[in-house]
Amino acid sequence: MINHIAIIPDGNRRFAKKMNIPITKSYAMGVDKIIEVMEWSKDLGVKMMTSWGFSTENFKRSALERRLLFRLFEGKIKEFLENGRFKKEQLKVKIIGDINKFPKSLINAIHNLESETEKYNEFQLNLALNYGGRQEIIEACNRILASGIKNIKTEDFSKFLFTKNLPDPDIILRTSGEQRMSGFLPWQSAYSEFVFLKPLWPELQKEEFVTAINEYDSRQRRFGR
C-alpha cells in the first residue's frame, strides 16, 4: 500500500510546443493536473503527495517566464481558496523549499494557503517551491553546524531538512520520458521505487497513472535487507 507518492511533473514546455499553445496555458494545465492527480491518489487510498512545482534551477529561466509563473501560482492559489476546492477535499498544503526569493505578494499568498488549509487532515499535498536537493542538504548541514551538534545521527539529520516530520516517499513518478531525478528528494528517496512515464505532464491520463501504481504494487521492497 502506498502512503506517500512523489511527482516530478515534467514536460509542460514541450507540451505547449507540441500543442502550439501559449506556455502560460500549458503551465496552468500543469497546475490543474497536480490537483487532478491528487484526486486519483486519494481514490487509491494514498494519504500524501509531494509534487515539484519550481526548482532552484528554474530561476535560470528568463525573467519573463519567471514572472508569468509567479503570477500563475498566485492566481491559482487564490482560485482554489475562493472556490472551496481545498475545503471540499479537506486538503492540507505544505510548502517545502526556500520561498524567500519569490515576489512578496506570492509569499503572502503561499503563507495564506498554508494557514487556511492547516486544519484539514483528509490528504496532504506538499509542494516543492524553489526546491533543490543539493541545496536542501547544504542548508541542513549549515543548520546542524549552527546548532553546535558535533555528532549527527542519520535519523536526526532528517529533522534539519525541509521535509522534517514527513514520511519518505514510497514511489516517485516522473513524466515526459526523462529518466533522471534532477536533484529531487535525494535524501528522502533512498528506498523509494521509481517509475518513469512517457506522457508529458499535462497529458497524463488516469489509466497511465494507475498502471504505474500497479507496477509499484508488483515490486518487492527489501529496504536493503
DSSP 50-111: EEEEEEGGGGGS-HHHHHHHHHHHHHHHHHHHHTTHHHHHTEEEEEES-GGGS-HHHHHHHH
How many H helices and E strands in the chain?
Answer: 8, 6
Helix H or strand E encompassing 210: helix 206-218
Assign 199 to helix, strand or coil.
coil
Q: Which residues does the annotation mark as catalytic?
A: 10, 58
**Residue 168, C-beta contacts closer than 8 angstroms, at least 6 positions apart:** 4, 188, 189, 190, 191, 192
The C-alpha cell at 103 is 515576489
Q: CB count, 10 Å around CB of 163?
A: 20
Residue appearing with cell numbers 535525494: 186
C-beta of residue 75 within 8 angstroms of C-beta of residue 33: no
